[in-house]
């Protein structure tokens, strides 16, 4: 029992925690590539096309270079899409946003670092600005996903 006391006092981790891999095999990118190529990319393209049909009046901002190569960043963006899908938008766009969120959640459900629940906070749902925000998030989301798969 003395060794357990010393581990507690000095904060020494058990060996199985130290040697455990950071990402499990279920969370590897090579396993996600087919899901992206055959399912998620199709839904993202639909979202891009749908958002292009709306929100022509959006102002182009000078956007910074995004560095989002973690599963947590992608999951957070999917959560933003899910929150914005509750706003007053077309049913087709709402369904596409929900499909993307569901696919991302199912892809990352085995990843321990990306399975946090989405924070539910009220979104400002002014029709003119919500379409612009959706368009902006979709373009960021697509580029982040590509960065994630290439990193």
pLDDT at 131 (0 to 100): 79
pTM of the complete model beyond 0.85: no
Which of the residues in the chain have pLDDT under 50?
A: 15-26
pLDDT at 145 (0 to 100): 79
Cα–Cα distance measured from residue 53 to residue 56, given in angstroms and rounded to the nearest whole number: 7
Cα–Cα distance measured from residue 78 to residue 10, given in angstroms and rounded to the nearest whole number: 40
CB 129 within 8 A of CB 69: no
pLDDT at 106 (0 to 100): 81
Helix axes 41-53 and 91-107, enclosed angle (nearest 10): 150
H or E element: which one contains 80? helix 71-84
pLDDT at 126 (0 to 100): 65
């Amino acid at each position: 029992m003395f060794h357990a006391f010393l581990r507690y006092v000095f904060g020494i981790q058990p060996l199985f925690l130290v040697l455990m891999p950071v990402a499990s095999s279920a969370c590897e990118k090579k396993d996600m590539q087919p899901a992206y190529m055959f399912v998620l990319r199709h839904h993202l393209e639909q979202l891009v096309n749908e958002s292009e049909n709306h929100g022509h009046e959006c102002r182009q901002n000078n956007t910074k270079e995004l560095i989002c190569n973690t599963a947590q960043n992608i999951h957070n963006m999917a959560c933003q899409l899910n929150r914005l899908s509750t706003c007053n938008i077309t049913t087709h766009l709402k369904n596409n946003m929900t499909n993307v969120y569901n696919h991302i959640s199912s892809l990352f459900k085995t990843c321990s670092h990306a399975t946090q629940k989405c924070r539910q906070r009220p979104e400002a749902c002014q029709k003119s600005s919500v379409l612009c925000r959706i368009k902006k998030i979709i373009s960021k989301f697509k580029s982040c996903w590509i960065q994630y798969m290439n990193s």
